[in-house]
């Protein structure tokens, strides 16, 4: 017998999987973020389907969808909106920008300048924006799906730590397996990819609420919470890190583990559920120490070391 959480993933796997091939683990990660009301950073080299994946998920979820293309000259007012004078009413009115959407695709976010990137901080955390001393609420399920090119590509700006910490998950797209790539070539050699991805919504608001209610039924033992806190504490004093896991990050780990347990049909979360989500939730929040960078250590190496260092509860 499946629960509402598993039903939600099945719908998204079928709908999104019809547009992108071989991305079942990525779609599961996106399901986790949707249920947890978290934002998602999708990273990979150009041409692997990051934008197509994001548009397919947005189409499956329904709601208002907007897209922003990151460029060096993009300004905060271009995404938030601006006050303009309305001659008929003889007053200034606020014209809302593309940020006012249920699902926002920010394509190539690291091509936008730091000032524009920072304009997202309030929106992603508080689901509201401020303009000229006025506060404007965003939809309750406001979701940012941002795509990012590798940091060593030309014309990119590194995302600030405060913004990276607001992304619940970072998923990395790699080159597809030969069979999946063959399916892509055979399918999209006949049809336009982005025209074909205009999906009807397959997830009703009631189904999403039911999935979140099913997540609440998954039990999290106090020992598991202490295990997550121990991992966070160990990261903050790790010699290879200049910045460890924040409290927001620890909370994201616990939420993701809980959802992962529910997706597996389990009534309670285990240390294995925590370990399975660490690679999605933690690495992008860590800042390596200079010596570690010179030694060729990456964030995933440190996550593995933390798992070896901190004993898991029985």
Q: Residues 111, 155: contact at Cβ < 8 Å?
A: yes
What are the structural domains, with CATH classification, of the chain? Answer: 4-211 (3.40.50.300), 218-309 (1.10.8.80)
Q: Residues 242, 55: contact at Cβ < 8 Å?
A: no
User: Which pLDDT belongs to residue 54?
Assistant: 85
Coil, strand or helix: which one is 239?
A: coil
CB < 8 Å & 24+ apart, contacts of 284-288: 284/41, 284/164, 284/167, 284/170, 285/161, 285/164, 285/165, 285/243, 285/245, 285/246, 285/249, 286/235, 286/241, 286/243, 286/244, 286/245, 287/161, 287/241, 287/242, 287/243, 288/240, 288/241, 288/242
User: Which pLDDT belongs to residue 1?
Assistant: 44
Q: Is the pTM higher than 0.95? A: no
> DSSP string spanning 167-191?
EEEEEE--PPPHHHHHHHHHHHTTS
CA distance 225 to 251: 9
CA distance 260 to 28: 9
Angle at 290 between CA 289 and CA 295, to 5 degrees: 100
User: Which pLDDT belongs to residue 93?
Assistant: 84
Please count the other Cβ atoms lying within 10 Å of the Cβ belonging to residue 247: 10
Q: Residues 65, 102: contact at Cβ < 8 Å?
A: yes
CA distance 234 to 131: 40
User: Which pLDDT belongs to residue 94?
Assistant: 83
Nearest Cα residue to 145 out of 29, 290, 291: 29
Burial label, 280 (beta-carbon count in 10 A; 0-12, 13-18, 19+): buried
Q: Residues 164, 41: contact at Cβ < 8 Å?
A: yes
User: Which pLDDT belongs to residue 137?
Assistant: 92
User: Which pLDDT belongs to residue 196?
Assistant: 58
pLDDT-flagged residues of the chain (< 50): 1
């Amino acid at each position: 017998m499946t629960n509402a959480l598993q039903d939600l993933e099945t719908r998204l796997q079928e709908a999104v999987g019809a547009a992108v091939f071989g991305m079942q683990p990525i779609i599961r990660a996106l399901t986790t973020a949707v249920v947890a009301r978290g934002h998602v950073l999708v990273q990979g080299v150009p041409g692997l389907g990051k934008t197509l994946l994001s548009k397919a998920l947005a189409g499956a979820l329904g709601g208002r969808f907007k897209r922003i293309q990151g460029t060096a000259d993009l300004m905060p007012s271009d995404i938030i909106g601006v006050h303009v004078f309305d001659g008929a009413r003889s007053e200034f009115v606020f014209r809302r920008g593309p940020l006012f959407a249920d699902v926002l695709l920010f394509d190539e976010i690291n091509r936008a300048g730091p000032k524009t990137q920072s304009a997202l901080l309030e929106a992603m955390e508080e689901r509201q924006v401020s303009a000229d001393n006025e506060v404007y609420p965003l939809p309750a399920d406001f979701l940012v799906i941002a795509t990012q090119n590798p940091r060593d590509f030309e014309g990119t700006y590194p995302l600030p730590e405060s913004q990276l910490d607001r992304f619940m998950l970072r998923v990395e797209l790699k080159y597809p397996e030969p069979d999946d790539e063959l399916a892509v070539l055979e399918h999209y050699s006949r049809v336009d990819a982005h025209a074909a991805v205009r999906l009807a919504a397959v997830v009703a608001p009631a189904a999403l609420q039911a999935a979140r209610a099913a997540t609440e039924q998954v039990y999290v033992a106090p020992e598991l919470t202490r295990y997550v806190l121990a991992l966070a504490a160990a990261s903050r004093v790790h010699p290879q890190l200049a910045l460890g896991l924040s409290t927001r990050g620890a909370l994201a780990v616990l939420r993701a583990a809980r959802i992962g347990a529910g997706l597996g049909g389990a009534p309670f979360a285990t240390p294995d559920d925590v370990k399975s989500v660490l690679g999605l939730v933690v690495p992008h929040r860590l800042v390596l120490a200079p010596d570690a960078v010179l030694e060729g250590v990456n964030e995933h190496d440190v996550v593995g070391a933390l798992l070896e260092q901190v004993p898991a509860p029985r």
